[in-house]
Structures are given as structure tokens and as C-alpha cells.
A and B are shown apart, each in its own frame.
Chain A
């Protein structure tokens, strides 16, 4: 017995792996992790995908997702080893003493039920509060979390509120039964930066006011630095470093932690615009078929040869639609596209093969952008065959060269996508785009689904390839750190309009327009107290207005 709220000792977690072409086998995914959490404290669990952080978080509720099972160790909650109480004991614990905030609130809420019913369900089920008390608590939590019309907010269905509001409602759901511990599993990852900052502040305030202990799981060190007292760095199911937030951020001991802290430190000096842009997009106005409103309004941008134009904006800003217009998938209602001095047909069907070859695309989800039944060699060889008529040994030789260029080596030529890591898959997609020898590549959120260190590798590769091949990138992203790392010029998009456009040095420096200012100041910085500063600053400004 000790008086820690949560005491995890030598936790071991196993799962069944299904490697392609081999029989399933048991593997261990968390190898003996220990930590303690006192009442009212927040511990950040940080690591890349596969580090086991969510798995450890769920173990605090005695829960294993899919085929995951806790195979060893102890999990003490309030002086009781929860792994010894059986399923009945766990059910008494879940939703009462320990509750969980999922990453995607949009998926974690039942679409068929009103929010109030879902938020109060655990509190009522465990007889912690009567229905009327639970509902009063929920309304108070809605108000505390800054939700609109807290009195009636609960009457709505999940699809009737925004993503940021839903994430706050999820926090209310977790706090409603008055638990001793809340596990936050990437609660702001799916949100836009300008929304994330508000949700983050709301969560932090709620944790402080209710005195609940929390496990805060994220891959974003800058985010966890704002909310936690201690941080544990995890990698491949092992603890790498465990210390106070101040120590981890300001004086990390391990190389891996240092790499995480210094991630996104690529320096890229911007190149000046040239007189002849490779791509001129002017006056584009577009809407999707059967919808009554335009998603792009009068968008004009230029892309210069061998340079990168970053199109940055939040979800719904129209940045991906712009890519669809340029590729010809969505013919615009007005405006035109000029490429390498000639006018491109607005419709894909009427573009020549040469037009198609010169504009290539790389997608966010490398997984679904490749045929899982084709080998790497076939995938990369396809454009060689299609555009240049290469066959046999000639094609294979060129594929090997391309594999070399993406720093993978020709050993991968006969592998299938399922055998590759996320970063390797994205590299194969880059090689496939390069195979066509394009003048321009549209990169649509190509690093968003990757871990920060892997994403860094991809960005470096793209920059190197740009130098060698003199290819221009239209780089679509919501991530400002990526923009800083790679762009020569930037177009900031908001609600279908370009609100700010110019060379990087000009766009990212004051004087700002309101939206760009909001966007830039919302990106979490890796320093303690950043969140409080920004919030205080904003409150002061809005008081001044």
C-alpha cells in the first residue's frame, strides 16, 4: 500500500501479431513500465506511434483494445490492484474512479443519443449521482469548459455540434462521475490549431479546478509541456526517460528525448521568385457539384520552378480543393490554370499525357494510395511504363535508381506495401511521383499521418530531391512548423480565400492580418507556460477591444 492515486508496477502488455505470410504469434508491446501518479497531478505520456502510450493509458482502466492483453505487473488505483478484481471489479472502476477521453470525440460519441444522456450515463450507472444531480453537474461542466448555451447544450445530438465542442463534451463526460483519474488519449490531435488551443486551455482549467489526477497521452511534446507536471517518454514499449516537465523540456538526458525536443528544426532559406512561374493559378472560383456555395473564391497563386509554395489553412479552408482544381479533378467555375507557359484544360479528360506527366501527386495516406497487392517495383515501375514506355531490365534499373534516391536501397524492390513502415510507404509514393520526371508535385498533407521524427526525414528528403531534380512543390498542409521548414512562398487560406500570400519571410513576419496572427499564435511552443501567456494575452486583447 502507498498513498499514490495510481501506481503502475512493471506493467507488461502483450498482443497477437499477424505478420503477412506468417502464422500469428504472441508479442510483447509494453515491456515492464512503472510510474506513480499522485492525486491532482498530471503525467504526460509521450512517444511516437507504436510506443505503447495509449495501451498503457487504457491499462489504467484494465482495458485492452482488440487482442491486447495485460500479461504482467500490477496496476494499483486508490490502493487496490485492479488487475486482481476480475471483470466485475473492473466494471465498477471504469467510468467511476477512472474515466477516459478518446482521441476522436466524433467517433467516441454514440450518434443515436443526445449528449446529455451520454455525459451523465456513467455517473448514474454507478450510482455516484442521481439523474438530476448528474445533469446539474453536466451543465456546470459544460459552462466551465466554455461550451455555448450550457443549459441546453446537452439536448443536442453529436452531429449537431462542432469537433472542438464535441471534444470538450467528451471531457465533460469523463469528469461528470467525479473520477479520481482521467486518461486523456490525444484529446486535441484531431483538432485544428486554433481550436486546439481553446480545448487545451479548457482541459487544463478543468483538471486544476476539479483536482483530478490525469494521464495525458500525446505525440506532441509542445502540447504535453503545457498541461503536465511530469513527463514520461516512451519508445517501442520501453520507458526512455521519466522526469519533471521542466527537466524533460529544458535538460533532456537521453538522445531520443533530445531528438523529440529539437524536432522540426530544419532550416531552409527561401529562394527569390523567378520571372517565369511554372504554375500560374488565377481567379479560381469553384464549388462541388450539387452544392449551393463556392468553396474557393477568386484564388490566385504562382509557383516558381524548383521552389515550394506552401498552401496553409485549417480544415475546410479549401486547400485540398485547390489541389483538385489544379489536377483537373474539379473544373473551376471561373479562372484559369497556366502551366509552363501553356493553358491547362480545366477538365482532366482533355489534358494530354504530357500535361499529366508533368504534374504529379503525393497523398496524405500512403497506405491507401498504393495497391496492396503490387510490389514496390511494380508501383514505381508503372509511371515509367506509362509515360516512357520502359520495359524489363531498363525499367528495373530505373526503379533501383529511384529507390536509391529515396534512400531505401534496391532490397525493397520485391516487397509489398504491408511490409513497409509508414515513412517507407511515403518514400515509395515520392519515388512513384518522381518516376514521371514531373516539373511539379502536389504534396497533400504528406507528413500529417507520420510521427514527427519520420516526418522530418521525409521533409529533408523532399528538400534534397528538389535541389537535384529542380522540381516545384505545391505543399498543402495545416502544420505551420512544416511550412517554416520547407516553404519559399506561402499562401494562407481561410474559408476558401487566400488571406495572405507572399514570400515566406514576409508572410511569417508582422504586420499580420487577424487570421494569420491567430493561426501563428496558436501553434504550441515547446516552452513552459506558453499556454497561459497566449490565453492571458488574448483575454487582454479582447478586453481592450
Chain B
């Protein structure tokens, strides 16, 4: 495991470094934003004394670097500060939202990833014949249509006309799993359609690339049928590019669902973020930004690690 382990350790270290840099960027970004936190809390009519007091209480008179490290150390300990608008503990309110977002992302991924890979394999199996063209056409069409439009169309057809599922995806802890699933069915459908094309196209391209190899001919000359050749011999050699694109899409499922959450009024991170951006609640925006960045970097790190581990030369050195 020598070289593989070393590379994995490198990736993890790089991921942490990147996360650190991103946190600095988020902090700096929110500092540059015009306006003053104290001012936005107290409003235009606040007296200079009141502003000065609040600034002191919030620690805004400290140098930026001190505030940054205070914030970072707090974040590492799970203390994301308090929201300016309602004075609530951010970590607490995000916790529930995050759970909901992950719940939605998880079920979308459980359906979309295997489906995309299966469709990709199918497209290779029937390359340039009608199943391939149909799969490509449908998935490309679904990625080309804006997701809010797909959302409303599905809501109209499935929710309003057919009345299969509730059109507002509200969930809470008192619901059973079945009720929850029924509630998120429509957003899951939309998300699946949105992320499917990308993963399916990459699966198809990566496998077709491998299909040119001499060992594919060896497999065919063993008398295996085409689907066996693709699944047993081509797929294991195309894992790295496929995992990469899968992870990018998983990250999208977590951080990119803002629009879908708003469309279906789903109580997830996205809606929470949108609410507080419009209210200029800087600590909440910082906290959400940090969490989204961590998800993105984490999933990409997993993709890198899987790529490394899927390479037999690194896993089994000479």
C-alpha cells in the first residue's frame, strides 16, 4: 500500500489546506461587502453611541485577523455564532436544515447514480443505435431545460393533475419515512433529471475510450458477450473518470439545490441561505459558505482517493 497511501495522505492534506484557504476567502469576502453589521442591525436611525457599543459587543473593533481566527476556532468547535436577525444559534438551526438537505440529496443520489451508470453502460452496449440516441437525446434535453421549469412542469403534471404526490415538499421529524419519501418524491425526480445527463455522458465516454484497448479484444475473443465485456473488462478501467463526475454531481445535489428547495418550499440549507442573504445576515452566510465549501472539497477529495485506489499500479506496487 506504500505509494497509494502516500498519495491519499497528500490528497487529504491538500483538501484541508484548500478548506483553510476557502475559509479565509469567505471571511474576507463578507468583510469587503459594503455596509456595517452594527448599522444593519440597528438601522439608519441609530445613535453613534449605540453603534459604538454594539461594535464593541460584537468584537468589530478587533483587527480582522483576530476576528477571523476567533471565527475559525469557533467553527472548528461547532460554534458558528448567532444569527443577527433572530439571535438564534446558527449551528442549531443549520443542523436541522442540513439534515433535510442531505436527506433529499441522498435519495436523489441513490436513484440518479445507478441509473446514470446503467444508462451509460446501455448506451455503450447499443452504441450509435436507437437506444443510445434516445438516451442521449432525453438526458441532454433534461439538462438543457432550466431546473425550475422542470420543477414547475412536474409539479403541475404529477402534483396538480395526477395528484400522486403533495406539491409542497414540507417534511418534519414527526413524519414516517414513507411520508417523507412521498413528500420529497417530486424534488428527487427533478434533481435526478438534472444530474443524470452529465454522469451518463461521462460513463459512456469513459467506457468507449477503454473499449479501444487491446484487452477488450482479448475479452471478446474469449467468447464473452458485449455486455459482459463492458461490465467485467471496460467498467473497472473507467472508474476514475466516472467517480470524478459522480462526486461533482453529488456535491451539486447538496450545494446546488437552492432553486429546487425554493420551488418546492423544502426546508433545507438552500432556502435557509436564501432567506438570510436577503436579510444581510453575514454570520449565517459565512457559516453556509463554509459548510458548502467543506462538502465540495470533501466529495472531490473522495473522488481523488477512489481514483488512486482504483489504479492497480498504485494499489499493488511491484
A-to-B contact residues, CB < 8 Å: 61, 63, 65, 90-96, 99-100, 102, 104, 107-113, 118, 121-122, 125-126, 156-157, 159-160, 173
Contacts and interface: CB of A to CB of B under 8 A. Distances in A.
Contacts of B228: 125
Nearest to B234: A110
B217 A108 contact: yes
B124 to A, nearest CB: 16
Interface string B202-221: 00000000000111011111
Q: Which of B218, B224, B228, B310 has most chain A Cβ within 10 Å?
A: B218
B220 A159 contact: no
Nearest to A177: B222
Given A111-B237, A112-B236, A112-B312, A102 B218 contact: yes
B11 interface: no
A157 B312 contact: yes
B236 A95 contact: no
Given A65-B217, A160-B318, 16 more contacts: A91-B224, A94-B221, A95-B222, A95-B223, A100-B221, A102-B214, A102-B217, A110-B219, A111-B313, A112-B237, A113-B233, A121-B224, A125-B228, A126-B223, A157-B313, A159-B313
A62 B149 CA distance: 52
Contact of B215 (A63, A93, A109): A109
Nearest to B310: A112
Contacts of B213: 107
A111 B238 CA distance: 11
B316 A125 contact: no
A93 B224 CA distance: 10
Q: 8 closest A-B pairs (Cβ-Cβ)?
A: A95-B222, A107-B214, A94-B223, A95-B223, A122-B222, A112-B236, A110-B215, A91-B223
Contacts of A93: 223
A72 to B, nearest CB: 22
B214 A125 contact: no
B114 to A, nearest CB: 20
Contacts of A94: 220-223
Nearest to A110: B215
A113 B219 CA distance: 12
Contacts of A121: 219, 222, 224
A100 B219 CA distance: 10
B4 to A, nearest CB: 13
A347 to B, nearest CB: 32
Contacts, number: 75
B225 interface: yes
A65 B313 CA distance: 29
A92 to B, nearest CB: 6
B237 A61 contact: no
Contact of B223 (A113, A122, A157): A122
B309 to A, nearest CB: 12
A147 to B, nearest CB: 16
A65 B214 CA distance: 10
Nearest to B235: A112
Interface of B: 213-215, 217-225, 228, 233, 236-237, 310, 312-313, 316, 318
A40 to B, nearest CB: 22
B155 to A, nearest CB: 44
Contacts of B233: 110, 113
A93 B219 CA distance: 13
B94 to A, nearest CB: 41
A8 B243 CA distance: 47
Contact of A61 (B221, B236, B316): B221
Nearest to B233: A110
A215 to B, nearest CB: 13
B223 A109 contact: no
Contacts of B316: 156-157, 159-160
Contacts of A118: 218
B6 to A, nearest CB: 15
Contacts of B236: 110, 112-113
29 contacts: A61-B221, A63-B220, A63-B221, A90-B223, A92-B223, A94-B220, A94-B221, A94-B222, A99-B221, A99-B222, A107-B214, A107-B215, A108-B218, A110-B215, A110-B218, A110-B219, A111-B312, A121-B222, A122-B223, A125-B222, A125-B223, A125-B224, A156-B316, A157-B312, A157-B313, A159-B313, A159-B318, A160-B316, A160-B318
Given A102-B217, A111-B313, A96 B223 contact: yes
A63 to B, nearest CB: 6
B187 to A, nearest CB: 37
Nearest to A61: B221
B16 to A, nearest CB: 26
Nearest to A63: B221
A121 B69 CA distance: 59
Nearest to B228: A125
Contacts of A104: 214
A291 B135 CA distance: 48
B312 A109 contact: no
Contacts of B318: 159-160
A111 B215 CA distance: 8
A334 B190 CA distance: 67
Contacts of A107: 213-215
A70 to B, nearest CB: 15
B275 to A, nearest CB: 48
A110 B210 CA distance: 10
B236 to A, nearest CB: 4
A91 B228 CA distance: 12
Nearest to B236: A112
Contacts of B223: 90-96, 122, 125-126
A159 B237 CA distance: 14
A284 to B, nearest CB: 28
Nearest to B218: A108
A91 B221 CA distance: 8
Contacts of B214: 102, 104, 107-108
B237 to A, nearest CB: 5
B221 A95 contact: yes
A539 B219 CA distance: 37
B227 to A, nearest CB: 12
A540 B99 CA distance: 77
